[in-house]
Structure 1
Amino acid sequence: MRQTAETSVQTWNPCSDRPLHERIAEAVQSRATPISQLLRLMSALDAEGNANENLRLQLRARIGAPLSV
């Protein structure tokens, strides 16, 4: 019997009502945040016209940080 993969994509983000800087701060502090989520936050930050350079640097540092720290 052939099984098909579930293809539904969750479009609702429970954190979307919080400001981007709060979501970034929480993601940077949490070692459990997946790289894919960090990259999505970086993309959202890049899309903002008034992006904070400190937030960008924090995200870049966290994306490149080793997991065994």
Structure 2
Amino acid sequence: MPQTHLAGPARRFIPGSKSLPEQIADAIGSRSTPLSQLLRLMAALEAEGGDDRLRLQLRARIGAPLDA
């Protein structure tokens, strides 16, 4: 059966490939980033004790309430 979806596999958080802020910026900018990937990035950001600005941007992209 021929493939109808030609997109490559979704990029995942891979420590050492790109910095976490770069990966988050790429994921936020891409409308095709799966929700699971955004949640993995959020978990990685939380584990690092991340930046509040990046956290808010990810939450807005995910659709999570800002006061959650």
TM-score (norm 2): 0.69
% identical aligned pairs? 62
Map 1:1-69; keep pairs closer than 5 Å.
Answer: 15-16=14-15, 17-49=17-49, 51-64=50-63
Query: Which amino acid is the alignment partner of residue 47 of structure 2?
Result: A
Largest Rg, 1 or 2: 1
Root mean square deviation, CA, Å: 1.9
Give the gaps of 5 or more residues in structure 1. Answer: 1-12
Counterpart Cα distance in 2 of 1:19 and 1:34? 19
Runs of 4+ in 1 over 6 A off after TM superposition: none
Q: Report how many aligned residue pairs link the two structures.
A: 52
TM-score (norm 1): 0.68
Give the gaps of 5 or more residues in structure 2. Answer: 1-11
